[in-house]
Amino acid sequence: MIPAKFDYLAPTSVEDALAALSEHGDDAKIIAGGQSLLPVLRMRLNAPEMIIDLGKIDSLRGIRDDGDAIVIGAMTTHHDVLHDPLVNEHAALIAKAAEHLADAQIRHRGTFGGALAHADPAGDLGAPTLALGAEFVIAGSGGTRSVTAEDYFVDLFETAIGEDEILVEVRVPKHTGWGAHYEKFVRVVHQWPIVAVAAAVKSDGSTVSEAKIGLTNMGNTPVRARATEAALAGAELSEDGVRAACDRAAEGTNPPSDLNGDADYRRHLATVLTRRAVLKAAQA
């Protein structure tokens, strides 16, 4: 279907984009890569009168080193995140997840910030950003504010970004030297996961000292596998050594039931995929 008629603005600064958002209020919608928004418009699930395109705001694009964190601009494409040396050295878990996100065409158009603003519970970037303790920098008319990943993901397709705000960048604390793996379970290639597990592991090769684990599609928002993280600290790094810890991966989760699998199946998947992710992360 063809989208309903809309007007279009392409500001060149965040300030101008915020001014346009505040002028048009509920009638306006931001577009980044358009990979999620355009299907919504074409299906006429939303019909904004004004589309504000962030594509000409250069300051929103790119990845920089900021001491103890790397900073990823909201308009950086999945392709650029995936191939960035800083991301691969200091936050490899993000690159591992981006590698499995959709196909090459979508990774060239879709953006890091767009995916995280869309907040699809099956989206691949929520779990790794949550696991690594990322902070989300959000700009509004009163300036910028920083929101922890724990507070950023509010509910199904809902984040801490207000109606008149823009996600400008995401700060990811450096996890240099940590092993990382994203284990994604799909029915069809290049699709959203039924369940996926993002695992970052610090070890000396025989014992886990610390593990950070995020689960995708195990609730309305990405969730940490806290019980498993706690049980893995000090665990022997072997199939049997991590099994008991990973069997607790679904504790505290509330997975959906749908045509791809019911909640119990997803809980089972979470335990199996977490074990695989932890062992592969430790070998990475």
Ligand X SMILES: Cc1cc2nc3c(=O)[nH]c(=O)nc-3n(C[C@H](O)[C@H](O)[C@H](O)COP(=O)(O)OP(=O)(O)OC[C@H]3O[C@@H](n4cnc5c(N)ncnc54)[C@H](O)[C@@H]3O)c2cc1C
Distance CA 220, CA 218 (A): 7
Q: Which is nearer to ligand X, 86 or 167 (CB)?
A: 167
Torsion sign (Cα): 158, 159, 162, 167: negative
Q: Closest by alpha carbon to 196, among 212, 207, 210, 185?
A: 185
Q: Which is nearer to ligand X, 141 or 191 (CB)?
A: 191
The residues, ordered by sequence, that sit 6+ positions from 168 with a Cβ below 8 Å of its Cβ are 14, 59, 60, 73, 74, 113, 137, 138, 139, 144
CB of 282 to ligand X, least distance (A): 25
| Encoded tokens for 237 | 């790094």
Contact 95, 77 (CB under 8 A): no
CB of 170 to ligand X, least distance (A): 10
| One of 32, 245, 278, 281 touching ligand X (CB under 6 A) | 32
The reply to whether 30 sits near ligand X by the rule CB under 6 A is: yes
Stretch that binds ligand X, among 31-39, 62-70, 171-179, 234-242 (CB under 6 A): 31-39
CB of 114 to ligand X, least distance (A): 2
| One of 102, 134, 223, 278 touching ligand X (CB under 6 A) | 102
Distance CA 41, CA 53 (A): 14
Instruction: Characterize the bridge pairing of strands 135-140 and 69-73.
Output: unpaired
Stretch that binds ligand X, among 99-107, 169-177, 220-228, 269-277 (CB under 6 A): 99-107
Residues 119-178 that bind ligand X (CB under 6 A): 123-125, 161, 166-167
Positions in the binding site for ligand X (CB under 6 A): 29-37, 54, 74, 101-102, 106, 110-111, 113-115, 117-118, 123-125, 161, 166-167, 191-192
